[in-house]
Amino acid sequence: MTEKPSIHIIGVEPEGVDPSRAPLSDYLPKTAFVIGGKRHLEPLREVLGKEVEFLGVTSNIPEVVARLLRFAEESKPDKNAIVLATGDPLYYGIGAPIAAALPAGSFSVHPATTLVQRSFALLGEPWEKVSVGSLHSKKESPKLHPGRWAFYTGGSAGVREVCTLVLEKGFGIRKMALLEEIGMAGERVRHFEKVETIGILPDDVKALNMVVMTIEEGSGNEK
pLDDT tens sequence across 98-141: 999 998 888 999 999 999 999 999 999 999 999 999 987 556 68
pLDDT tens sequence across 155-170: 899 999 999 999 999 9
Whether residue 65 contacts residue 48, with contact meaning beta carbons closer than 8 Å, is answered with no
Average of per-residue pLDDT values in the chain = 91
| pLDDT computed for residue 105 by the predictor | 87
What single string gives the DSSP state of each residue in 35-59?
EE-HHHHHHHHHHH-TTSEEEE-SS
DSSP bridge pairs for 177: 191, 212
Whether residue 8 contacts residue 83, with contact meaning beta carbons closer than 8 Å, is answered with yes
Whether residue 188 contacts residue 93, with contact meaning beta carbons closer than 8 Å, is answered with no
CA atoms within 13 A on the CB side of 144: 26
Whether residue 86 contacts residue 10, with contact meaning beta carbons closer than 8 Å, is answered with no
Q: What whole-number distance in Å separates Cα of residue 218 and Cα of residue 204?
A: 29
Q: Given pLDDT bands bounded at 50, 70 and 90, which one contains residue 1?
A: very low
Q: In order of start, what are the domains of the chain with their CATH numbers?
A: 7-113 (3.40.1010.10), 116-216 (3.30.950.10)
